[in-house]
Amino acid sequence: MQAMTTEVIEMEETEIRVTVERRMGLRFPLQFPLSCRSLGKARKLVEGTTLNFSRRGLLFASDDPPGQGETVEVAVDWPTKIDGVCPLKLVLQGRVVWSWGRYAAVRFRRYEFRTRGRQTAALALEGQDHRTATPAC
């Protein structure tokens, strides 16, 4: 994800300002909770919310987003469940290509869907024996 740039073109003493859209691909406005962990020396973990996705990256808001150039791992709580039971998260690694104020844009290097854990605690709360029940995920 790249920001828009302004280029100045000079033609016979006339200055023309042209705004060039350098982003490629559509943006999908999706807001899901996320956690973002820096993979550098600091290993800082922050919580935030996605603002939009594209095929190559995402934009998110956080009180303390990582800085431009940092390599990060982002885990997004996905709203879909496998068989209606097993919660998913989208885990991606990438680089922060833009950061300003509360916002950061991450370009994906790789990503995968993972389950968010076993459901044995939920089974126990429902009165099922979690030692003999088959975990949902």
Q: What pLDDT digit, counting tens, does each position of 26-64 carry?
A: 999 999 999 999 998 878 999 999 999 999 999 999 999
Mean pLDDT score of the chain: 81
Work out the angle at residue 109's Cα, subtended by the Cα atoms of residues 32 and 80, and round it to the nearest 5 degrees: 30
Question: What number of other Cβ atoms are within 10 A of residue 56's Cβ?
Answer: 15
pLDDT of residue 10: 52
CA atoms within 13 A on the CB side of 15: 4
């993979």: which residue's tokens? 39
User: What CATH number labels 26-125?
Assistant: 2.40.10.220
- Mean pLDDT check: name the lowest of 1-15, 95-109, 114-128: 1-15
Pairing of strands 103-115, 57-62: antiparallel
Please tell me the pTM assigned to this model: 0.69
